[in-house]
A and B are shown apart, each in its own frame.
Chain A
Amino acid sequence: MNIFWLTGDLSHLAAIVILLLKIWKTRSCAGISGKGQLLFALVFTTRYLDLLTSFISLYNTSMKLIYIACSYATVYLIYMKFKATYDGNHDTFRVEFLVVPVGGLSFLINHDFSPLEILCTFSIYLESVAILPQLFMISKTGEAETITTHYLFFLGLYRALYLVNSIWRFYFEGCFDLIAVVAGVVQTILYCDFFYLYITKVLKGKKLSLPA
């Protein structure tokens, strides 16, 4: 493990916890895409099936369990506990346009044609685009609460740090996972526009709002 890997994981954890706490403290999931959170729950579920087949480390296992538990808790808060605050009218991204092509691609391009590996590859491809429902929702409403932008920032930062981790591991450990790197680049690119707005607006104390 290197510093980029660890800070990537912690950034990912921060994002998940920020979102969970935001919904819990404000008793509201306004401005949050429930569809996006369903996709992330699907991502964690399909990727971490190896919890049942292999043990890597206590750190690895506990982080996987925390990610899964938090993502399901978030989905529960949005669709059950605080359902009345869920803004379904603005959460209209067609997720089948992501899940179906990504499912097809994971059958075609993977490291090994086995159920577990295909599901894991599916999760990597899906994660790279899973933020689109949330970004789409922000573009529809034209604004985002500041705490939501912090969530998005840490979520985007995590994958950027993982890319640096991939470079590190290529040089110092001689391993390179092309699927993870390409998906990571796609994922990070999708955040670039948001990163720009976050740095130029939110960090200067302004609310993130898009021109009409």
Chain B
Amino acid sequence: PPAEGDHDEL
């Protein structure tokens, strides 16, 4: 899962 604060979505 992506790290918190990692905004991979648009």
| Chain A interface (Cβ < 8 Å from any Cβ of B) | 5, 9, 12, 47, 50, 54, 56-57, 60, 63-64, 67, 111-112, 117, 120, 162, 165, 173-175, 180
Contacts and interface: CB of A to CB of B under 8 A. Distances in A.
Contacts of B1: 173-175
Interface string B1-10: 1101111111
Contacts of A9: 10
B10 A67 contact: yes
A54 B9 contact: no
B7 A120 contact: yes
Contacts of A12: 10
Contact of A111 (B2, B4, B8): B4
A180 B10 contact: no
A53 to B, nearest CB: 10
Contacts of A112: 4-5
Contacts of B5: 111-112, 117
Nearest to A165: B9
B interface: dominant SS? loop
Interface of B: 1-2, 4-10
Tell which of B1, B5, B6, B7 has the most Cβ of chain A within 10 Å: B7
Given A173-B1, A174-B1, A175-B1, A5 B6 contact: no
Given A173-B1, A174-B1, A175-B2, A162 B9 contact: yes
24 contacts: A5-B9, A9-B10, A12-B10, A47-B7, A50-B7, A54-B7, A56-B6, A56-B7, A56-B8, A57-B8, A60-B8, A60-B10, A63-B10, A64-B10, A111-B4, A111-B5, A112-B4, A117-B5, A120-B7, A162-B9, A173-B1, A173-B2, A174-B1, A175-B2
A63 B10 CA distance: 8
Contacts of B9: 5, 162, 165, 180
Of A50, A56, A63, A174, the most chain B CB neighbours within 10 A belong to A56
